[in-house]
Amino acid sequence: MRKEIEFEETTNPEEFATAVVDLANPGQVLTDTTLLEKEMILPKISLPGHYANDKYKDLVFHFVVTPIFNSVIDFRLTASNQYEFLTFDGKTIDEFSDEFIARCADEMGQDFDERSTETTYHIPAEDADGIDIQFGAPSWCQYKFQRELNEEEKKELDRRSEEEEDFDSNDFDYNYGYETDYTDPGLQDENGEPLEFIAQLNEGGIFGTYYLFFSPTTRLVRQFFLCT
């Protein structure tokens, strides 16, 4: 089921261990800080895995701010919960030209100018105006990675809803009759297995929407950026 959680800052050290973290030292979550030093990417929010699923309670995921023209960035989550960079829109670091690096840095200038200067910790709140993260299922702001339900599926969905049958109706978009298509290669890991949705960052000092997916088998973390 979709679940949207708003977070507010806490200064209680006893709550830090399970809190969402707005990073002032983003390099600590990367195995190699080269792309950070070149101002191409900026790790922004660290998310304890238990918010997504209890089975991920020992994992920590990270939302990474990227240039607006970036669609997908891949990392490997290490045993120490750091990100090992893999590809940026399919390119490895060895494929980056000087012009591409400069373009990224130029696009990221404002993000680095406004980066957090103090690490802050955030916990769920009833009503907060800060970090907003969605769990359970993504709400795509574009039709990418979705498939349209056929007429039979739409009728079945309506029937189950009308009869108040217990099922995960929030995985579907009733307005448009679409659902996430996990047969899309973009939502599969290196072995062709479907990725698992972790979270969607809606608000948190960022532009656009970031989506995190994970492979528990290969520990691939795939982040998508979309905006309308």
**Do 196 and 171 reside in the same domain of the chain?**
no
**Do 25 and 59 reside in the same domain of the chain?**
yes
**Do 57 and 150 reside in the same domain of the chain?**
no
**Do 63 and 124 reside in the same domain of the chain?**
yes
**Do 54 and 81 reside in the same domain of the chain?**
yes
**Do 163 and 70 reside in the same domain of the chain?**
no
- Give the structural domain span for 35: 3-137+188-226
**Do 43 and 64 reside in the same domain of the chain?**
yes
- CA atoms of 24 and 81, how far apart (whole Å): 17
Residue 220, exposed/middle/buried by CB under 10 A (0-12, 13-18, 19+)? buried
Confidence band for 6, pLDDT divided at 50, 70 and 90: very high
Which residue, among 167, 168, 195, has the nearest Cα to 181 in the 3D structure? Answer: 195
**Do 158 and 193 reside in the same domain of the chain?**
no
- Sequence length of the chain is 228
**Do 77 and 40 reside in the same domain of the chain?**
yes
Confidence band for 145, pLDDT divided at 50, 70 and 90: confident
**Do 132 and 152 reside in the same domain of the chain?**
no
Secondary structure in 3-state letters for 90-149: CECHHHCCHHHHHHHHHHCHHHHHCCCCCCEEEEEECCCCCEEEEECCCCCCCCCCEEEC
**Do 69 and 153 reside in the same domain of the chain?**
no
Residues 6+ apart with CB under 8 A from 131: 6, 7, 20, 22, 45, 122, 201, 203, 204
Which residue, among 32, 55, 58, 54, has the nearest Cα to 43 in the 3D structure? Answer: 32
**Would you state the structure tokens that stand for residue 208, as one six-digit string?**
């656009």
Which tens digits make up the pLDDT trace of 12-39? 999 999 999 999 999 999 999 999 999 9
Number of CB atoms found within 10 A of residue 190's CB:
11
Show the DSSP H helices in the chain as ranges. 34-37, 98-107, 109-113, 151-162
Estimate to the nearest angstrom the gap between the alpha carbon of 146 and the chain centroid. Answer: 17
| Mean pLDDT (the chain, rounded) | 90
Rounded to two decimals, the pTM is: 0.90
Give me the number of domains the chain comprises.
2
Residues 6+ apart with CB under 8 A from 153: none
- Region of residue 120 (left: phi > 0; alpha: psi -120 to 50; beta: else): beta
Which tens digits make up the pLDDT trace of 161-205? 777 655 554 555 555 678 888 999 999 999 999 999 999 999 866
**Do 62 and 35 reside in the same domain of the chain?**
yes
